[in-house]
Structure 1
Amino acid sequence: MAGTGSIRPRLQVLGDFQACCGGEPLHVPHAGQRVLACLAVLHRHRPARRTSVAERLWPDAPPGRSTSTLRSVLWRLPRPRGRTLVRGNATTIELHEDVEVDLWESERVAAGVCGDGRPAGAVPDLLTLEDDLLPDWDEEWLVMERESFRQLRLHALERVAAESCDRGRFTDALSAGLCAVRSEPLRESAHRTVIAVHLAEGNFAEALRQYDGYRRLLADELGLPPSPAIDRMVGPLLDRPADVR
């Protein structure tokens, strides 16, 4: 018999939006997706005023019209196995306490990594740190939340890479470092982390290849040279002083 947790509704807001219950996908119209995402990202399990949610999601509509639209959207939300995704009263709404959200789980993992809140030597599931928050959505209210989570995620990946490298877990270190590079190709600290892993393994050609790829990208995209910090890492391999470009 499946445990209760296996049939809890679940929202995915990292990458593409998805909703499911017990492994079965739920059909949620786009307007409903916006409401669920807004509650998951901005309000969590805290009650949100109906008028505030309506005005945020439909800012160009008259107040009475936006709240009416919200009521209609809420009424059309799926109720998997009789479970409501959103609960509320005449003035507030919130996600039901049974709803799981992948963003919250990833934030806990990242916060644990950055705050030493995990067992020594434990490597978190990197899949929870791979995706950005609804990257294809063009919503003003998402901009700051997306950037906040992105920075937390990238710092966590770099921390995992550095700690794994220190412990000789080079496969884990490279996986985390390269994930950070894929997420933000112009982020120098991510490239430095990958180069450090290659150097620790003695893979000098790989370290130079990573450096050269970053150098070319930086020149093409921004017209800038790499920093002295990353130059110093590979300077000895180039048989030249590290401070000479």
Structure 2
Amino acid sequence: MTEHPNLRLGLLEDFEVSFAGDVLRTSLPAQRLLARLAVLQRGRPVQRTTLAERLWPQAPPGRAASSLRSVLWRLPRPRGRTLVICTTTTVRLSGDVHVDLWDVEAQAHALCTEDQPPPTALDDLAPLTRDLLPAWDEPWLQVEQESFRQKRLHALERSSDALRRRGRFTDALSAGLGAVQAEPLRESAHRSVIAVHLAEGNHAEALRQYDAYRTLLAHDLGLRPSPVIRTMVAPLLGRPVDVPAV
């Protein structure tokens, strides 16, 4: 049996719709519609009137409904495949559409809930370094963007810890640094990096990471690192951490 080519909807970093490897052209209103169906509805149907009002909140209901019909009519249909399923009253994303966001959320869930994450969840962590449509500033998307960011940061930290325990120090360091890059003021991310350096016996690297975090935290927020991270590096100094030398 011949497998049908996939319809793919990319929402991480940049918006993209593709079929069999070819990128499909979509208008901005179509992008907004598809993103809403994927991020908010998750494949569930939404009332056409509700969707039209959300997409065109300033337009009268009749004009909003007309605009929705126009966008739906102009959606790409490569080889007869449809991106959305419409009835007289509802719209939903087609089950044929493969959404990258859903895949990465499933990966993050496995990493954050399993005591021993499956090897497949640790094989490719690159998707966890990408944000949800970061160039978009749609008000409805902001909570979803932050929710996904927190999920992927936790997943990167858990990945770093799991890889470190398995002796895969290079991969563990990449995962930890990925979390640091995404949020430089996140202490748990720095702790993951420091733990990898300590496991490898790279004490100078551990101290350098700690000092960079301590300096950044003091400069940006006027705060000191927590006792947890200070305790990690205290044995390397032979004196209490953060106490000025006399």
User: TM-score scaled by structure 1?
Assistant: 0.93
Alignment of 1:210-225 (within 5 A): 210-225=209-224
In structure 2, how many angstroms separate the alpha carbons of the residues matched to 1:57 and 1:43?
A: 14
Gaps of 5+ in 1: none
Match of 1:184 in 2: 183
**Cα distance, 1:237 vs. partner?**
2.0
- Which whole-Å deviations, capped at 9, do the CAs of 1:151-192 have from their partners, x for residues lacking one? 111111111111111121111211111111111111110001
- What secondary structure does 1:87 align onto? strand
User: TM-score scaled by structure 2?
Assistant: 0.93
From 104, 107, 110, the counterpart of 2:105: 107
Alignment of 1:53-202 (within 5 A): 53-116=51-114, 118-119=117-118, 123-202=122-201
From 39, 48, 68, the counterpart of 1:50: 48
In structure 1, how many angstroms separate the alpha carbons of the residues matched to 2:109 and 2:160?
A: 15
**Cα distance, 1:145 vs. partner?**
1.2
In structure 2, how many angstroms separate the alpha carbons of the residues matched to 1:62 and 1:199?
A: 62
- Which whole-Å deviations, capped at 9, do the CAs of 1:21-74 have from their partners, x for residues lacking one? 000011111111000000010112111111221222222222222221111111
In structure 1, how many angstroms separate the alpha carbons of the residues matched to 2:187 and 2:133?
A: 24
**Cα distance, 1:141 vs. partner?**
1.1
**Cα distance, 1:243 vs. partner?**
7.1
In structure 2, how many angstroms separate the alpha carbons of the residues matched to 1:68 and 1:133?
A: 29
Tell me if structure 2 keeps the 8 A contact 1:232–1:243. no
Percent identity between matched residues is 62
- What secondary structure does 1:60 align onto? coil
Tell me if structure 2 keeps the 8 A contact 1:13–1:102. yes
Tell me if structure 2 keeps the 8 A contact 1:85–1:96. yes
Match of 1:3 in 2: 3
Tell me if structure 2 keeps the 8 A contact 1:105–1:128. no
Q: CA RMSD in A?
A: 1.8
- What secondary structure does 2:17 align onto? strand
**Cα distance, 1:8 vs. partner?**
1.4
- What secondary structure does 1:100 align onto? strand
- What secondary structure does 1:97 align onto? coil
In structure 2, how many angstroms separate the alpha carbons of the residues matched to 1:67 and 1:216?
A: 55
In structure 2, how many angstroms separate the alpha carbons of the residues matched to 1:170 and 1:19?
A: 36
In structure 2, how many angstroms separate the alpha carbons of the residues matched to 1:238 and 1:167?
A: 28
In structure 2, how many angstroms separate the alpha carbons of the residues matched to 1:10 and 1:55?
A: 26
In structure 2, how many angstroms separate the alpha carbons of the residues matched to 1:217 and 1:2?
A: 55
Gaps of 5+ in 2: none
- What secondary structure does 1:11 align onto? strand
**Corresponding residue pairs, total:** 243
In structure 2, how many angstroms separate the alpha carbons of the residues matched to 1:76 and 1:18?
A: 16
Tell me if structure 1 keeps the 8 A contact 2:110–2:118. no
In structure 2, how many angstroms separate the alpha carbons of the residues matched to 1:122 and 1:58?
A: 39
**Cα distance, 1:120 vs. partner?**
6.2
In structure 2, how many angstroms separate the alpha carbons of the residues matched to 1:172 and 1:11?
A: 28
